[in-house]
Amino acid sequence: MSIWEAIIQGIVQGVTEFLPVSSSGHLSLAKHVMGIEVTGLFFDVMLHIGTLIAVMIVYRATIWKLILAFFSLCQDIFKGQFKWKEMDDDRRLLMMLIIGLVPLFLLFLPIPGTGMQLKDLSDMLATDTTILAEGFSFLLTSFLLFMAIRASKRVRSSRHMRDSQGRKLVSKGRSKFHVADAISVGLTQLCAALLPGLSRSGSTLSVAMMRGINQQKALDYSFVLGIPSILAAAALTLKDAISSGEAIDVVPPVAGMIASAVVGFLAIQLLKWIVTTNKLHIFAIYTLVLGVVVLLIALIESTTHVNFFSGTLL
């Protein structure tokens, strides 16, 4: 892989990891278009680290509060002083994040009669020669975004707030997550981990909004929830790379990581602005159009057995 190909995939990863359009789906499409069958496990790890750096920079203050809340919570549990109903906002967010992460452990469930785990299904769909799964998943992302937009319009304005420029904004929906909210978002994140093309940020944001959560709170929860998810994905992929004895060319992965970190940081800021200005319909329309186009190309390839872009046999 050349450095330019690595940078292109890093840009794709950085943009699509946080914008509600699916990083896994776009990376799969990028590989399909460029005729790259396997990028290498170490390269995938570096792209994930790049996006992890981006989200940790943006949410560094929240992360630090959660770390302090974690140690304080452990201390109270050890002393027998912990009370669920008396949790402050930081502890409550921490508990809701822990509950939201629990469904991801279902990825390690075995699939009967196959010798595979549930997480292996995602690898199969992302690395097969067809892009049908990506097309259907893009359409599912679009559907969820449209449903979230519709749900937000039904929620009454609860309070007023101002953005970083001092502009007055209307805040709709609940600001606190409940256990049912966290479980719903967690199960949605599980589905996004399985389907290349189903946006993790888009689907979790949409489900939280459909549950009546304020748009900004839903977005922040989705991003912070993604930190351990991205970290776990990077760790598992790195473990597979080490066990496979993969030969590593350092330069392209580092170039891809830097590109994904820089672009990812900008993508987070862009999505925050889009959510506060109620422009989610842009991504809903984009994923709808993309899903239809991808499905049409997949159908053409299924009849010709030739890659629509590279002309290679499938």
How many Å apart are CA 100 and CA 232, to the nearest integer?
14
pTM of the complete model: 0.86
The answer to whether 111 and 118 have CB atoms below 8 angstroms apart is: yes
Q: Residue 63 and residue 91: Cα distance in Å, rounded?
A: 12
CA atoms within 13 A on the CB side of 114: 11
| Contacting residues for 281 by C-beta, under 8 A, at least 6 apart | 145, 146, 149
- pLDDT at residue 277, rounded to an integer: 84
Q: What pLDDT is stored for residue 164 in this prediction? A: 45
d(CA 224, CA 270): 16
Q: How far apart are CA 120 and CA 131, in angstroms?
A: 17
pLDDT for 141 equals 96
Residue pLDDT tens, the chain, 314 long = 778 888 988 898 888 888 999 888 888 888 888 776 555 667 777 888 899 999 999 999 999 999 999 999 999 989 888 888 888 899 999 999 999 999 999 988 998 888 888 888 887 887 788 899 999 999 999 999 999 999 988 775 555 555 444 555 555 678 889 999 999 999 999 999 899 889 999 999 999 999 999 888 999 999 999 898 888 877 877 777 677 666 667 788 889 999 999 999 999 999 988 888 888 999 999 999 999 999 999 999 999 999 888 888 88
CA 77 to chain centre: 32
Contact 138, 197 (CB under 8 A): yes
Q: Say how far apart CA 286 and CA 97 lie, in whole Å.
A: 29
- Please report the DSSP string for 16-27 in residue order: HHHSTT-HHHHH
Other C-beta atoms lying within 10 Å of the C-beta of residue 260? 32
Quick check: 163 and 169 in contact, CB under 8 A?
Answer: yes
